[in-house]
Structure formats: structure tokens, C-alpha cells
């Protein structure tokens, strides 16, 4: 990894922690979502094969397009004076992840639970973090769902973008973010999206294969650094990671459950950390603390990697 990318990565994390996200009208990921929504409305509504092929064309074609845009932006940045180029690349990278936004969402849900305002906690959970119906969840289930979302988003919303940026720069991280956004919008198992979102879901599973497992390792290491249950994180991860229907989500979620010593259950689907205590509002704060440490570990690993002498601008 070259010096330019290392500097941009560190600066992007600093920008996220200090400034957060811009309004959606200025956010590239929101633009991706708008484009995917427009394409979805123009897609076929009948015929499973036509829907699968259209969905595959959408996610692959869109991914190639944004990767091409990332390549052009990268070439433009190389022509700029170093401080300006580093800042521009850092801003673009920062748009692909949101550490501060995820932490803020968790804090709002925690505050609502501590105020014993369960309807508001349910509303915030549905608004910020999950797509499923939250109206029947009790306070323990709301806390569990928030912790699960923090853990899963640590993987696909933070570690994965940093991983793909380190691997392939702006083209690769933008292509990853398009794929992930397409899955978030299309990857549902309902009559409308079952076939249309099939390619997006499978491609998202593939692209998150390594980041999910890396995240579980990093959560375990983070637990050791702040006095959480590192042995529990390792044990529950190895035992429960494959009990979810998703091939990836169970890895960071089970590591988080073990680190916190809580049981995370999605009724009739999975139970992670069985035998642990029910999660409380304060456990959401503990989860976000571990989440904050994970990118710091990534930064530390990146800094320790040998630097390429190419493209130092």
C-alpha cells in the first residue's frame, strides 16, 4: 500500500469522527441509491429469469461504472498538489463509510431505552438500523437488534470499505459500496425482490466474505484491549458464526455477543451467545466502543505494512 493511500485513509477516519456525513443531496452513496431505485422501477416485474438477468446487469454494470469513475477521479487526484490531493481522496473515501453516524444511531436507541420509552426505541431502531418490523420487540430484543446492527455494520460499513480501499484504491471501494447499496435495496426475499435482487445478494455475500471474518478477529482483539471478554468473543464466534442464514453476518455478531457476554436472539432464526444474559441499554454503548476501536486497529495494521514507493503524490 502506497504512502498516499495510507495518508488518505488516516485523514478519512479523522474527517468522519470530527465532521460526520454530509446531507444526502451531497452524498455519493445516496446518489447510488437514487440510481438503483430508478433502475429498479424500470426492471421487469414478471419472469424469474428476466428479473435475475436484469438484476445482474444492474449490479455488475453499476459496479463497473462507479469503478471507472473512481479510476478517473484517482488519475485526477494524482495531478493535484499533494496536500490538496490527499484531502480530496480522503473526502471521497470518507463517503464510503460512517463510523460517527452508526455510533450516533446506537446512542439514540440507548437513550430511548434508558428513558423507558420503548415505542421511541423501536421507531429509532427501524429508522436507523434495521428493515424488519420492530413493533412487537421488547426492550431486550431492541437492545439485541441494535448491538447486532452495530456489529454487522462494523463489518460491511467500516472494515469492508477500508479493506477494499487498501486493496484497490477508489475504484474498488466505490464498486464495493455500489454492490452493498444494491443488496441493501434489492436483496430481500419477498415477491418483488426475490429474483431481481438475487445477483446483488450473492455478490454482496462474496465481497463480504473476508471482511466479515477479519471484523470478527478485530472485535476479539478490541475486546482484549478494553477489558471485555476476549475468550468469550473467540469461543462464541467459533461456535455460533454459522448459525445465521447469512454466510457473513454471524461472524461479527457472534464475536460481539461473546465479547459482551450477552445473548443476541432473532426469534425463530438464530441465537448467538446462548447462555449469556439478556442485553441491556448500556451494552449498546459497550458495542459502539468496540466498534470505534476496530478501525483504529485497521489503521495500525496499515501503518505497519511496508509502503510502496509508487504514486506518492
pLDDT-derived band at 308 (thresholds 50, 70, 90) equals low
Q: Does residue 310 fall inside a structural domain?
A: no
Residue 123 belongs to domain spanning: 3-304
Instruction: Output 306 or 178, whichever has higher pLDDT.
Output: 178
Structural domain count of the chain:
1
Q: Does residue 192 fall inside a structural domain?
A: yes
Q: What pLDDT score was predicted for residue 236?
A: 98
Q: Does residue 247 fall inside a structural domain?
A: yes
On whether the CB atoms of residues 110 and 284 are closer than 8 A, the answer is yes
Q: What pLDDT score was predicted for residue 137?
A: 95
Q: What pLDDT score was predicted for residue 306?
A: 76
Q: What pLDDT score was predicted for residue 77?
A: 94
Q: What pLDDT score was predicted for residue 309?
A: 57
User: What percent of the chain is modeled with pLDDT above 90?
Assistant: 85
Q: Does residue 9 fall inside a structural domain?
A: yes
Helix orientation angle between 198-207 and 160-186, rounded to the nearest 10 degrees: 160
Q: Does residue 313 fall inside a structural domain?
A: no
Q: Does residue 312 fall inside a structural domain?
A: no
Q: Does residue 311 fall inside a structural domain?
A: no
Q: Does residue 277 fall inside a structural domain?
A: yes
Three-state DSSP class for residue 265: strand
Q: What is the pLDDT of residues 10-66, one digit of tens each?
A: 999 999 999 989 988 889 999 999 999 999 999 998 999 999 999 999 999 999 999
Which element (helix H / strand E) includes 266?
A: strand 264-266
On whether the CB atoms of residues 75 and 4 are closer than 8 A, the answer is no
Rounded to 5 degrees, φ, ψ at 195 are: -95, -35
Which residues are bridge partners to 25 per DSSP?
none
Amino acid at each position: 500500500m502506497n504512502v498516499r493511500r495510507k495518508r488518505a485513509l488516516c485523514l478519512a477516519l479523522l474527517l468522519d469522527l470530527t465532521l460526520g456525513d454530509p446531507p444526502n443531496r451531497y452524498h455519493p452513496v445516496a446518489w447510488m441509491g437514487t440510481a438503483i431505485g430508478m433502475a429498479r422501477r424500470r426492471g421487469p416485474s414478471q419472469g424469474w429469469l428476466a428479473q435475475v438477468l436484469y438484476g445482474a446487469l444492474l449490479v455488475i454494470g453499476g459496479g463497473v461504472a462507479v469503478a471507472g469513475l473512481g479510476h478517473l477521479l484517482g488519475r485526477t487526484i494524482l495531478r493535484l498538489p499533494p496536500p490538496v490531493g490527499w484531502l480530496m481522496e480522503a473526502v471521497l473515501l470518507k463517503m464510503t463509510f460512517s463510523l460517527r453516524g452508526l455510533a450516533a444511531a446506537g446512542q439514540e436507541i440507548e437513550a430511548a431505552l434508558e428513558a423507558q420509552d420503548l415505542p421511541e426505541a423501536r421507531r429509532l431502531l427501524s429508522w436507523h438500523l434495521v428493515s424488519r418490523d420492530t413493533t412487537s420487540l421488547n426492550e431486550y430484543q431492541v437492545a439485541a437488534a441494535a448491538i447486532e446492527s452495530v456489529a454487522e455494520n462494523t463489518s460491511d460499513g467500516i472494515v469492508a470499505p477500508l479493506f477494499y480501499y487498501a486493496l484497490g484504491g477508489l475504484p474498488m471501494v466505490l464498486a464495493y459500496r455500489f454492490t452493498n447499496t444494491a443488496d441493501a435495496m434489492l436483496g430481500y426475499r419477498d415477491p418483488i425482490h426475490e429474483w431481481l435482487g438475487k445477483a446483488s445478494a450473492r455478490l454482496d455475500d462474496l465481497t463480504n466474505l473476508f471482511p466479515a471474518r477479519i471484523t470478527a478477529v478485530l472485535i476479539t482483539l478490541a475486546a482484549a484491549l478494553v477489558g471485555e471478554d476476549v475468550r468469550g468473543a473467540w469461543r462464541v464466534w467459533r461456535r455460533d458464526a454459522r448459525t445465521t442464514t447469512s454466510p457473513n453476518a454471524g461472524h461479527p455478531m457472534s464475536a460481539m455477543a461473546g465479547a459482551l457476554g450477552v445473548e443476541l436472539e432473532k426469534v425463530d432464526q438464530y441465537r448467538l451467545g446462548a447462555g449469556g444474559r439478556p442485553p441491556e441499554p448500556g451494552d449498546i454503548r459497550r458495542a459502539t466502543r468496540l466498534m470505534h476501536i476496530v478501525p483504529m486497529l485497521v489503521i495500525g495494521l496499515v501503518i505497519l505494512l511496508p509502503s510502496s514507493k509508487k504514486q506518492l503524490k
